[in-house]
Amino acid sequence: GSLGYWLEQQGVQRGSQPWYYYVLLQVPVYEFLTALGTWVTLGILAVRKVRGAPMVSDIPETEADSAPEGQDQPRGQALFLWLTGFWLISSTIAYTYAGEKMPWLTVHIALPLILFSGWGFGQLVEGLNWKAIRSQRGLLLISLIIVFLVGFSAALASLLGTERPFSGKELDQLNHTLRFIFSLLTAIGSGVAIAWLLKGWDDLEMLGRLALTTLLGLLAVLTARAAYRAAYINYDNPTEYLVYAHSATGVKRALAQIQELTERTTDGLEMMVAYDDETTYPYWWYLRDYSNQKYYGASPTRELREAPVILVGDNNYAKIEPVVGMAYYRFDYNRIWWPDQDYYDLTWERIRNALTNPEMRAALWEIWLNRDYTKYAAVTGKTTLTLPNWDPADRMRLYIRKDVAAQVWNLGAAPESEIEELLADPYEGKGVSLIADASLGGNGVFNLPRNLAVAADGTLYVADTNNHRILHINTNGETLHEWGSFADSNTMEAEAPPGTFYEPWSIAIGTDGSVFVADTWNHRIQKFTPDGRFITQWGVFGQAETPDAFWGPRDIAINDQGHLFITDTGNKRIAVFDQNGNFITQFGEAGLLAGQFDEPVGIALDDEGRVYVADTWNQRVQVFEYNPEAGQYIPSNEWPIVGWYGQSLDNKPYLRIDGTSVYISDPEGYRILEFTTEGEFVRYWGQYGSDLSSFILPAGLAIDPAGGIWVADAGNNRLMHFQTENP
């Protein structure tokens, strides 16, 4: 049953809320009236205890003197208080201790709060002599008490707030001063009127009851207001703490766009709508009547272009971008969101700051009263407290194909010829099916291998990136040498020890057989003997202040003279050194013009000594030639790549050259592209998958002595070999 299910959830600890979730958040924000009422009940019982009066009675105190002498006090109320008191205490302790803490479980604390405090409210109201109150202008007194409480609260808020009175003569400062003076005069005036009315009062206890009842009445109004706002205004927003996680407004907006498209293009619900494993919730239900809905999970392929509409969650953004390219309009929405969770990890210091810092007090007051996070965002510096960019949230994208959008949103749409050009895939029709004749890895051998190099004898050196090591293996996968372990120079007082790595992304073989490793996140190049003995290293983290100041070097190419061409990716340059680490030259800078780079990654040299660079975020390959007169490398050619759309950490392409063929990886396009050295497209192969003709994140490439090509299929943790005879 439900109790058994709830008990099972304690190990799951769904929500991962802090122990004070109910006591310091849910109850103060939503059950403040009943929480105060509980203290009223306890106060009434304490006063009666001190006076020696019966703790409980079915007879109101105003009539207690007329009760028959010796009458036994009824036990019903006492049992009621014991029961509800025990219920309240045990529920608070149990749900505070429980692993699962959810807003809807607050009801188990709220119910005994309502009953226990309700008894106190009843005693308070029943103890009022309304006839005497009316005869002594009590209704006017109640009104004046309300005015006094409002005026006094406003004046106190001005004194304790961020904009205090009498702080200057600017217009805003004068306005704050005037508001304080008005509030203070209101409080004083109503207070004087209350004092004048009280001259005829001789029952001070009755007066206290009346004042407390008035205060509780005001809190009841605030409670009703909070309930109304939660149910009818903020019901779809994460500004309320009554909801743990729910669909954001973007889900409905996206669905409305989809429905308009399908009704205007198919006169029904027949349009193909594709969705992934993240947008399955909630679209598996919302799209239940769409006859052509298509689920593609976490594995989008280029065949998805048949779908006019594609839905994708934020974890699959990088995968879908190579599919949609420039052929779709993109709309970004929140899919699921949670309330702000800054109440996590409360400390006494944070609580003290909240109570003593005027800005923080004002910010928390606005959240409590109006669920307005503007002041809190200003105090904390957070930029994620407006609905469009709310965090925590899961986001999604709606992609609408441009040719379909043009049929509906024809105002301002591009000409049909331009749309057809955007939809056209220049590589379409030139895909081939190549099946790997060898596959090495599996069984946990590699962990995201980013690159490899082929030695003169055909053996392989592998940058086993996430294992932070180098493997030397033969073509059967047998290990010949292995070296390296993890070390992070960014967290050490000294540089990482030689022979350790932090995600090596590339490896190259020198003219003398030496092995060079791009130790990417230790921002250095290391040199080893063929069997892994350390020789030397160079490089420090920096922004090219010195020639050896690297920022995440990603690839190495070596020419016949033994010069190392290194893509210093973060610094948008190519740095050239000799095999001993002596600086020779550098070229490139940030930008999109010829000779400039935006995320250079892969690098290779052809037989003529020309340098080819994968200029990733500029989506092009640039070619450089050495100009002896200028004494530097200058751009001589470039061609665009229809791919490399994503800017994720994984979408880092590499290239290698074999004769007149340039092989280029398209990691998040799950394919290998082949061009001529002049930039003419030849063919491609691969798609998403794990069979011998598919890839998940193809990265580094290497040409073997026989003309075959090795591919580091990082996502599948394997190396694949293909025969590449020209078609």
| Average pLDDT of the residues in 631-659 | 91
Backbone angles phi, psi at 43, to 5 degrees: -65, -45
| Average pLDDT of the residues in 631-656 | 91
Instruction: Tell me whether strands 681-685 and 431-432 are parallel, antiparallel or unpaired.
Output: parallel
| Average pLDDT of the residues in 448-469 | 96
Q: Which amino acid is at 321?
A: E
3-class DSSP state for residue 656? strand
Residue 162 CA to residue 177 CA, distance in Å, equals: 12
Sign of the C-alpha dihedral computed for residues 117, 118, 124 and 127 taken in this order: negative
Backbone angles phi, psi at 342, to 5 degrees: -70, -10
Which residue's entry shows tokens 């000799």?
Answer: 578
Nearest to 269 by CA among 285, 292, 251, 250: 292
Q: Which amino acid is at 129?
A: N
Q: What angle do CA 521, 523, 527 make, to 5 degrees?
A: 110
Looking at 53-62, 260-269, 442-451, 572-581, which range is the least confident one? 53-62
**DSSP string over 409-476:** --TTPPPHHHHHHHH--TTTT-EE----SEEEE-TTS-SS--EEEE-TTS-EEEEEGGGTEEEEE-TT
Backbone angles phi, psi at 121, to 5 degrees: -60, -45
3-class DSSP state for residue 279? coil
DSSP structure class, residue 248: -
What distance, in Å, lies between the first and last C-alpha atoms of the chain? Answer: 66
Output the CA torsion 433→437→441→446 (10° steps).
-60
Position 416 pLDDT exceeds 70: no
Residue 230 CA to residue 224 CA, distance in Å, equals: 10
Position 621 pLDDT exceeds 50: yes
Neighbours of 202 (CB within 10 A): 9
| Average pLDDT of the residues in 543-554 | 96
Which domains, from first to last, does the chain contain? 2-58+73-233 (no CATH), 249-340+393-406 (3.40.190), 348-380 (no CATH), 438-489+498-723 (2.120.10.30)
Q: How far is CA 377 from CA 28, 236, 356, 381, 385, in A?
A: 21, 21, 18, 5, 6
Cα Rg of the chain, angstroms: 36
Nearest to 563 by CA among 576, 550, 546: 576
Q: What is the model's pLDDT at position 587?
A: 97
| Average pLDDT of the residues in 573-588 | 96
Mean pLDDT of the chain: 88
Q: What is the model's pLDDT at position 409?
A: 63
CB 244 within 8 A of CB 17: no
Q: What is the model's pLDDT at position 419?
A: 54
CB 298 within 8 A of CB 619: no
CB 501 within 8 A of CB 519: yes
Q: What is the model's pLDDT at position 504?
A: 97
CB 518 within 8 A of CB 505: yes
Residue 433 CA to residue 6 CA, distance in Å, equals: 53
Q: What is the model's pLDDT at position 421?
A: 58
Position 86 pLDDT exceeds 90: yes
For residue 99, name the pLDDT band (cuts at 50, 70, 90).
confident
| Average pLDDT of the residues in 671-694 | 94
DSSP structure class, residue 486: B
CB 40 within 8 A of CB 124: yes
Indicate the pTM of the whole model. Answer: 0.65
Q: What is the model's pLDDT at position 364?
A: 92
| Average pLDDT of the residues in 327-336 | 92
Residue 184 CA to residue 175 CA, distance in Å, equals: 14
Residue 237 CA to residue 338 CA, distance in Å, equals: 9
Q: What is the model's pLDDT at position 400?
A: 94
Position 715 pLDDT exceeds 90: yes
Position 73 pLDDT exceeds 60: no
Q: Which amino acid is at 324?
A: V
More confident residue, 547 or 168: 547
Q: What angle do CA 213, 216, 222 make, to 5 degrees?
A: 150
pLDDT tens string 195-218? 887 776 666 677 778 788 888 888
3-class DSSP state for residue 685? strand
Which residue's entry shows tokens 């105060």?
Answer: 36
Q: Which amino acid is at 56?
A: V
More confident residue, 3 or 415: 3
By the 10 Å C-beta count (0-12 exposed, 13-18 middle, 19+ buried), 706 is classed as: exposed
**Where do the H-state alpha helices sit in 170-228?**
171-197, 204-228
Residue 684 CA to residue 465 CA, distance in Å, equals: 26
Q: What is the model's pLDDT at position 410?
A: 52
For residue 191, name the pLDDT band (cuts at 50, 70, 90).
confident
| Average pLDDT of the residues in 583-605 | 95
Which residues are 310's β-sheet partners?
A: 274, 399
Q: What angle do CA 468, 469, 475 make, to 5 degrees?
A: 135
Which residue's entry shows tokens 């994620």?
Answer: 384
Q: What is the model's pLDDT at position 59?
A: 46
CB 394 within 8 A of CB 278: yes
CB 502 within 8 A of CB 522: yes
Backbone φ/ψ region at 553: left (φ over 0), alpha (ψ -120 to 50), beta = beta
Percentage of the chain with pLDDT > 90?
58
CB 322 within 8 A of CB 695: no
Q: What is the model's pLDDT at position 56?
A: 67
More confident residue, 36 or 163: 36
For residue 415, name the pLDDT band (cuts at 50, 70, 90).
low
Which two tokens mark 584?
Answer: 């020779």
Residue 311 CA to residue 296 CA, distance in Å, equals: 10
Segment holding 574, helix H or strand E: strand 573-577
Which residue's entry shows tokens 């290990």?
Answer: 479
Looking at 109-118, 324-333, 656-665, 701-710, which range is the least confident one? 324-333
Backbone angles phi, psi at 288, to 5 degrees: -65, -25
Which residues are 247's β-sheet partners?
A: 336
Segment holding 623, helix H or strand E: strand 620-627
Instruction: Tell me whether strands 583-587 and 718-722 are parallel, antiparallel or unpaired.
Output: unpaired
Looking at 220-234, 306-320, 423-437, 666-680, which range is the least confident one? 423-437
